[in-house]
Amino acid sequence: AQSVTQPDIHITVSEGASLELRCNYSYGATPYLFWYVQSPGQGLQLLLKYFSGDTLVQGIKGFEAEFKRSQSSFNLRKPSVHWSDAAEYFCAVGRSGYSTLTFGKGTMLLVSP
Amino acid sequence: EAGVAQSPRYKIIEKRQSVAFWCNPISGHATLYWYQQILGQGPKLLIQFQNNGVVDDSQLPKDRFSAERLKGVDSTLKIQPAKLEDSAVYLCASSGDRHGYTFGSGTRLTVV
């Protein structure tokens, strides 16, 4: 069975500092990997996705993620965090781009001035 | 393009009452999903439709939850009777190609 682990429940970052959110997955085949962001009272917005090819994926809002098969990881990064990035971030895995997704429990990002 | 529409945005009901949620997917999207997101957790799939047929409902509590997608477009999710543990955000998503899908804003259900 597929699973996703996001080890950090909360992370606090100073505005302007760099960010890395961790995601580890368990999946028997080549995974389809996603990062979503959810602001309070909102639905999920796709930040980026990895299907194949280049393991460094660029997304919206200046985010990027790197797929590392040997570590079963898909960590999300941003070089300089803005206060508007404060939200909850979810990593997800699926067997295709339109299959059901298994989500991690999320990481809440807090941005301090 | 228009996004995935869901209604109502919020609903408060008493336990043992019934409730229904509605979802209108992106036009032309054949696949529709309902996810349940309990506070502090990631979304969990309840049911997946391909056109008007069910693909996966293995995690749907069928003794109280039901869903339909007549004509392969809109979908409704019903809970009857509701329990306190059904309090959650119910997210609808749709997909029309290989490259991921779009979520609606969700319906926040509170059962008291």
Question: Which pLDDT score is estimated for A89?
Answer: 98
Other C-beta atoms lying within 10 Å of the C-beta of residue B9:
11
Contact A90 B31 (CB under 8 A): no
Per-residue pLDDT at A87 exceeds 90:
yes
Taking all residues of chain A, what is their mean pLDDT, rounded to a whole number?
Answer: 93
Contact B101 A98 (CB under 8 A): yes
Confidence of residue B1 (pLDDT cuts 50, 70, 90): low
Q: Quick one: which of B105, B21, B26 has its CA closest to B66? A: B21
Question: Which pLDDT score is estimated for A30?
Answer: 81
Query: Considering only residues 90 to 109 of chain A, which have any Cβ-Cβ distance to chain B shorter than 8 Å?
Result: 90, 92, 96-98, 100-101, 103-106
What are the pLDDT digits (tens) for B84-99? 999 999 999 998 865 5
Question: Which pLDDT score is estimated for A11?
Answer: 97
Contact A104 B42 (CB under 8 A): yes
Kindly give, in sequence order, each residue whose CB lies less than 8 Å from that of residue B80, ignoring residues fewer than 6 positions away. Answer: B18, B19, B64, B66
Percent of chain B with pLDDT over 70: 96
B5-97, what's its fold?
Answer: Immunoglobulin-like (2.60.40)
Per-residue pLDDT at A43 exceeds 90:
no
3-state DSSP call for residue A34?
strand
Domains of chain A: 3-112 (2.60.40.10)
What are the pLDDT digits (tens) for B3-39? 899 999 999 999 999 999 999 999 888 999 999 999 9
The one-character DSSP state at A95 is S
Per-residue pLDDT at B40 exceeds 90:
no
Q: Which residues of chain A lie closer than 8 angstroms to B23, CB-CB?
A: none
